[in-house]
Amino acid sequence: MKEQGVVRIGFATVTVVVVMLSVVCTCGGSTSGSLHPLILIPGNGGNQLEGKLNREYKPSSFICESWYPVGKKNKGWFRLWFDSSVILSPFTQCFAERMTLHYNPQLDDYFNTPGVLTRVPHFGSITSLLYLNPHLKHITGYMAPLVDSLQKLGYADGETLFGAPYDFRYGLAAEGHPSQVGSKFLKDLKNLIEEASNSNGGKPVILLSHSLGGLFVLQLLIRNPPSWREKFIKHFVALSAPWGGAIDEMFTFASGNTLGVPLVDPLLVRGEQRSSESNLWLLPNPKVFAPQKPIVITPNKTYSAHDMVDFLKDIGFPEGVFPYQTRIVPLIWNIQAPHVPVTCIMGTGVRTLETLFYEKGDFDERPQISYGDGDGTVNLVSLLALQSLWKEEKSQYLKVVKIDGVSHTSILKDEVALNEIVGEISAINSHAEPGLSNVFSG
């Protein structure tokens, strides 16, 4: 998801709902007090990304050729995300063209801009998840508070605690369609899970994701056989997962989204954001959002999650229609249960974009916005989607934890949220997982 902070005011209340759809919980073989290895999977934009240019790169301006990145020659690897110089308008365009993906209809896959190489540093470690820019820790902190809380439990980087950063611009596609970058990440994550388990006496692994990371984890689980899941997965804990996408993505596609970064012209980054395969994946799921629910309203037309093809055409992005119809719709239509224990922890009660009103029908303008419930980024119906999607499942354990007043990203640093997360991890490690049909609040 696009990570947006919302100031939280007041005392948070925690509501826990346990949906027990199985008689037996999958529990590993560790003794009381021992730690199962834990892997952190970040959300969209939640880890560092590096770039490098070669001779194929054709800059759009002299500035992009000679001055960006600031103070560095374009001959080696440089920080692509997050670089603070992006807030300066001439450099915003350079950043956008280097982050842009291109869909190739003949190859049916997404690729970088020609001449732009990218890499994800520190795979396997939590290093690139702590801060998006280690030189700007005070404004680019991400998972540092969460990691600190886990370390107080006894977790140690590279021993029992691991990180799985990825190129968050890329997503996944439905079966039968290539998705080279996203599929490689799933393969790397699977290998990391097996290595973490083997290096910890064969204990199954706890997967702890944030936002978009939860969608990747769920795909990893359902794309591997039950025998593998039973052997290697102890529990899946998903924070702020956008199971049904988010209305905020329609705002991003229509008008561009600065994500709270000051001084940035949203129209300069709109094309790059539209090109993102993962953003296409995160558009509102028509199976989760009702067809009668108006999301975008113009003088001539109203769009719901079921009108996405028309929406993409009318905003001036017809090239997104084919990959959306062929690669994304089949992927989001069938969200299977993985048959491993799943806990969803989410913020609620934060005003979240619900409806966009374009008075002139011009998507270059900033719309009027009405708000509803959610975590400030993801709508409540999406956060809770697994409850409805899996209600007929007879062998799936699902626990839902709602934390009032906590936003999409503050869940990673809010004291109440961190206590809830750490408590859940402790319970999983001690086998004190919830029993049948527990429903309580506190």
pLDDT in tens, 21-67: 443 333 333 333 489 999 999 999 999 999 999 999 999 888 888 76
Residue 387 has pLDDT above 70, yes or no: yes
Q: Catalytic: 310?
A: no
Quick one: pLDDT at residue 38? 98
Quick one: pLDDT at residue 4? 37
- pLDDT over 70 for what percent of the chain? 88
Which tokens go with 365? 């303008």
Please tell me the least confidently modeled range out of 86-95, 169-178, 324-333: 86-95
Q: Catalytic: 211?
A: yes
Which helix (H) or strand (E) segment holds residue 146: the answer is helix 144-152
**Pairing of the two strands 109-112 and 101-104:** antiparallel
Quick one: pLDDT at residue 295? 98
Domain boundary among the residues 65, 96, 119 is at: 119
pLDDT confidence bin for 12, thresholds 50/70/90: very low
> Which residues are 371's β-sheet partners?
353
Domain count, the chain: 2
Residue 318 has pLDDT above 50, yes or no: yes
Q: Are the C-beta atoms of 377 and 351 separated by less than 8 Å?
A: no
Reference 185, options 41, 282, 301; nearest CA is: 41
CB atoms within 10 A of CB 73: 9
Q: State the average pLDDT over residues 334-344.
A: 96
Quick one: pLDDT at residue 72? 57
Residue 77 shares a structural domain with residue 223: no
Quick one: pLDDT at residue 14? 45
Determine the 3-state secondary structure of 389 from DSSP: helix
Phi-psi region of 437 (alpha: psi -120 to 50; beta: other; left: phi over 0): left
Q: Which of 375, 407, 410, 414 is catalytic?
A: 375
Q: Residue 95: phi, psi to the nearest 5?
A: -60, -45
Please tell me the least confidently modeled range out of 61-65, 183-187, 244-248, 438-442: 438-442
Residue 159 shares a structural domain with residue 106: no
Q: State the average pLDDT over residues 252-279.
A: 91
Residue 43 shares a structural domain with residue 56: no
Residue 259 shares a structural domain with residue 343: yes
Q: Are the C-beta atoms of 207 and 428 separated by less than 8 Å?
A: no
239 assigned to some structural domain? yes
156 assigned to some structural domain? yes
The DSSP annotation for 153-195 comes to: TT--BTTTEEE----TT-----TTS--HHHHHHHHHHHHHHHH
| CA-based R_g, the chain, Å | 21
C-alpha 81, offset from chain centre: 16
Domain boundary among the residues 119, 134, 149 is at: 119
Residue 70 shares a structural domain with residue 166: no
61 assigned to some structural domain? yes
**Predicted TM-score of the model (pTM):** 0.92
Q: Which of 255, 408, 410, 414 is catalytic?
A: 408
Residue 349 shares a structural domain with residue 321: yes
pLDDT confidence bin for 89, thresholds 50/70/90: confident
Which tokens go with 326? 């062929």
Residues 6+ positions from 407 with CB-CB distance below 8 Å: 4, 5, 6, 8, 347, 350, 375, 376, 377
CB atoms within 10 A of CB 231: 14
Quick one: pLDDT at residue 9? 29
Residue 299 has pLDDT above 60, yes or no: yes
Q: Residue 5: phi, psi to the nearest 5?
A: -85, 140
Which tokens go with 81? 């995300």
Quick one: pLDDT at residue 73? 54
Q: State the average pLDDT over residues 429-437.
A: 59
Quick one: pLDDT at residue 33? 43
Residue 438 has pLDDT above 70, yes or no: no
Query: The dihedral of CA 3, 9, 366, 308: what is its sign?
Result: positive
Which CATH number belongs to the domain containing residue 128 in this structure? Answer: 3.40.50.1820
Quick one: pLDDT at residue 88? 81
pLDDT confidence bin for 262, thresholds 50/70/90: confident
Quick one: pLDDT at residue 166? 98
Determine the 3-state secondary structure of 20 from DSSP: strand
Residue 214 shares a structural domain with residue 237: yes
Quick one: pLDDT at residue 69? 72
The DSSP annotation for 257-305 comes to: --TT-TT--HHHHHHHHHH-HHHHHTSPPTTTS-TT---EE-SS-EE-G
Residue 423 has pLDDT above 80, yes or no: yes
Residue 302 shares a structural domain with residue 388: yes
Q: Catalytic: 135?
A: no
- The predicted-structure confidence for 124-137, as pLDDT tens digits, reads as follows 999 999 999 999 99
Quick one: pLDDT at residue 74? 54
287 assigned to some structural domain? yes
Q: Residue 373: phi, psi to the nearest 5?
A: -85, 150
Question: For residues 367, 370, 375 and 376, what is the CA-based torsion angle, rounded to 10 degrees?
Answer: 30
pLDDT confidence bin for 162, thresholds 50/70/90: very high
5 assigned to some structural domain? no
203 assigned to some structural domain? yes
How far apart are alpha carbons 256 and 236 in whole angstroms?
33
- pLDDT over 90 for what percent of the chain? 81
Which tokens go with 170? 């890329």
CB atoms within 10 A of CB 361: 12
Residue 43 shares a structural domain with residue 86: no
Domain boundary among the residues 92, 119, 146 is at: 119
Residue 104 shares a structural domain with residue 193: no
**Average pLDDT of the residues of the chain:** 90
**Pairing of the two strands 368-372 and 101-104:** unpaired
Query: The dihedral of CA 379, 413, 16, 18: what is its sign?
Result: positive
Quick one: pLDDT at residue 245? 98
Residue 328 has pLDDT above 60, yes or no: yes
1 assigned to some structural domain? no
Instruction: Find the domain containing 66 and state its range.
Output: 49-119
Residue 285 shares a structural domain with residue 196: yes
Q: Which of 128, 149, 211, 276 is catalytic?
A: 211
Quick one: pLDDT at residue 10? 37
Q: Are the C-beta atoms of 331 and 183 separated by less than 8 Å?
A: no
Residue 238 shares a structural domain with residue 328: yes
4 assigned to some structural domain? no
